[in-house]
Structure formats: structure tokens, C-alpha cells
A and B are shown apart, each in its own frame.
Chain A
Amino acid sequence: MFNLESKIQDWKQGVRQAESVTLENVDELEEHLRESIGSFVEKGLSEEEAFLVASTRLGANSSLSQEYGKINGTTVWRRRFVWMLFGYLGITALVAAMSSIGAAISTLTALLGQDGLAASGAGIIAALIGWATTIYVTYFLVRQRNAAWVEDLLSAKWLAALVVVVVVVAPAIKLVGLMAHARFVPADEVGVSMWWTSVGGAIQQGCLLVACMAMILMFRERLSATAGTKWC
């Protein structure tokens, strides 16, 4: 049995895949498709035939996205930038969540009378379990939807680069900073200096987060040209 509505939704999904086509563009094309189908049905075609003729006349997705790309060039980059910002926010939130889980477990272990090594070990293990769970869930969710781009992102080259940055470069920089700090700051000042360093770090982090959110709000596309239209 031919279901026109689901066919139109599939078609819409296909058009939305193209980065260069904004949601407003999709709305406009959808209205065109529906009107075109309506007129063919009036002329005596079945819904299935009408859909085929109307969507063919509208043109292939690839050529549509190419034509829209010529006028929506900045939209494409803005959209990528927003994704990047979302990614940063997501990772920051996850890092915060995992380190609080780790800290909580560590404190709990210490309260149960274990020594420092056991407490910090338990914290690290808890955070690792948290990360593993998150990554597994994300992977599972992404697998369910067909998203080729994630697989590109997860290519060995990028993963290796990420691992190098996270495991080697970032801790090395931090270590050098701490060593310099310990070496050059007088012993009785270290506490105060550390306190200010962490306050400064928190302020920086906070500003960055606020700036990120502000930019997302600024660059975010309106979900739809008119109210009441569903977004997928």
C-alpha cells in the first residue's frame, strides 16, 4: 500500500541531508512538492504516480544541493561552526560530570577508611567506567541512525591525533606549568597562588562556556520558517 505522507517524509529527509539546504528552503520545496502532487492527482494520476512525477520534476537532491550551495555558502560554514561549538559544550559537560563522579567515589572510599591510593584509584576507575558507558551509549545511538560522517570522524588518523593530544600533549603542558610554578613561586606563596590559578581557570572556563552558548544562539537557524511545522 502506497503511503504518500511517509514518502514525502522520506523525500524531505533526503533533501535535509544536504548541508547547503536550510530548513526554510526545505519547507518551501515541500510546499511545492505537495501542490504539484495535488495538481497531478486532480488530473487523474494515482498518488504514487503523482509523487514520482512531482519529485522528478523538482530535480535530484544532488543538483538541488549544488544549486543551493551557490547561495547558501555561509550557511554551510555557520552550521559546521555551530556543530563544533555544540561538540565543545558536550565534551566540557561530560568532563565535568565524569570528574565529579570520580571525586564523589573517591571521597566515599576515603570516608570508608581506605588510604589515599585506594581512594584516588577508586575515583579514577569510576570516572573511566563513566566514560566507557557514555561512549558505548553514544556509539549505539549513532549506529542506529545512518550517519556516515561519524565514521569519517572516527577514522584511525583522527583518533590517533586525539589520543596524542589528550594523553601526551595536554598533560605535558600542564606538568611543565606546575613544575615552573613550584620552582619559581616562593614556598609560602604557593597556596595563595594555586588558589588564584584555579579561580582564574574557573572564570576562563565559565566565560568560554557563556561565549559558546551565546554564539550558538546567534548562529542557530530558526527551527522552521513558520510555527507549527515539525522539524524532522
Chain B
Amino acid sequence: MVSKELIAASTRPLVLAVLSKGENYGYAIIQQVRELSGGRLEWSEGMLYPVLHRLEQEKLIVGHWSKPENGRKRKYYRLSAAGARAMQTERQQWFAVHETLATLWGVKLCST
């Protein structure tokens, strides 16, 4: 299980990364992260939404409500151009941390 602090710090890049694969809504984003992490990243689900709204306020993502035919109404979010740039920055930072730790712990890295 990943610690609360690390969860909090990684929510933002995770959300940006999931949305970079295409537009999505809260519940599905959580499911996707849970599956990809093999259950090791367990979010307190309600916490995702304030993060989404923060990103929306920063214009990194764009949200809109839609209600499919005989489906459930949902608020979908997609990455904006600024969001894509922000994700690149996050990516570099996470790799910097990751590479440092990997070197210290003697893990062989494939060249990126």
C-alpha cells in the first residue's frame, strides 16, 4: 500500500496521465488507476473530485456534463493543451525522482 502523502502527491500527475489517453470521468479514472496499480494505489475516492476541479480552474483540463441515451449523466474531463504541457513537466520531475532512487537502490534502468 502506498502512503497517504505519496498518494496525495501523485494524484495530479496520475489524473493528467489518465486523461492524456482520452476524455474520462471520475469513477472510471479511479477504476483505471486501481487496476493499473494492481490495487496498491487506493484513493479515498471523494478526494479525486476537488483535484479535478483544481485542475479545471487551472485550465489544465476541461470538463463538461453529458448524458448518453438511457445512460447516467456524468461529468467528463479532457486534457487541454496547457494540461498536456503540464503533464510533460510532471513527467520529467517524476522521472528525476525515480532515477535518483533507482540509482541509489542499484536498480538497472533501461535508457529513457
Distance, CA A36 to CA B50, complexed state (A) = 18
Which range holds the interface residue count of chain B? Answer: 10 to 19
Given the known A-B contacts A57-B44, A226-B65, A226-B67, are A29 and B49 also in contact in the complex, defined by CB atoms under 8 Å?
Answer: yes
Q: Residue on A with the closest CB to B57?
A: A71
B27 touching A32, Cβ below 8 Å = yes
Chain A interface secondary structure, helix, strand, loop or mixed?
A: helix
Which range holds the interface residue count of chain A? Answer: 20 to 34
Q: Residue on B with the closest CB to A225?
A: B65
Say how far A37's CB is from chain B's closest CB, in angstroms.
11
Write out the residue numbers on chain A whose beta carbons fall within 8 Å of the beta carbon of B46: 29, 32, 58-59, 63-64, 67
Write out the residue numbers on chain A whose beta carbons fall within 8 Å of the beta carbon of B54: 70-71
Say how far A8's CB is from chain B's closest CB, in angstroms.
13
Distance, CA A181 to CA B72, complexed state (A) = 68
Q: Residue on A with the closest CB to B67?
A: A226
Residues of B within 8 A of A (CB): 26-27, 44-47, 49-50, 53-54, 57, 65, 67, 72-75
**Closest CB pairs A-B (n = 4):** A59-B46, A67-B50, A58-B46, A59-B44
Residues of A within 8 A of B (CB): 25, 27-29, 31-32, 34-36, 57-59, 63-64, 67-68, 70-72, 225-226
